[in-house]
Amino acid sequence: MLLVERVGRGLQALLAGARAVTAAAAADFAAGTLQPASFHIARWLDAHGPAHSNDIALGVGMDKSAASACSRSWRPNNWSNAARTTLTSARNSCR
């Protein structure tokens, strides 16, 4: 087997594992109170800082109206402190 094929297969396995971990983290993120898509937006905001909804939607690959709907659902739940703690814990566990 060529080195390129082995590297390609290794990258494929790594990406599949990363998707599985991300999907599980999204499901656990503020479980029962927020949509899993909110996790991806929160992660993007954590990495890039405050942004306009169009930039966020492009960054996470969502429709702008869907991204806006997710952000509107955060306000009544006062998710920001819990989300910040969850993201910090996840970031620290990956180091």
Could you tell me the pTM of the whole model?
0.59
Domain containing 8: what range?
A: 3-93
Between CA 24 and CA 25, with CA 59 as vertex, the angle to 5 degrees is: 10
12-33 burial by CB neighbour count: b if 16+ within 10 A, else e? eeeeeeeeeeeeebbeebbeee
Number of structural domains the chain divides into: 1
Between CA 43 and CA 55, with CA 49 as vertex, the angle to 5 degrees is: 85
Positive or negative torsion for Cα 61, 66, 71, 73:
negative
Each of the 95 residues of the chain gets a pLDDT tens digit; together they read: 799 999 999 999 999 998 888 888 877 776 767 777 888 888 888 888 888 888 989 999 999 988 888 877 666 555 555 566 655 655 554 44
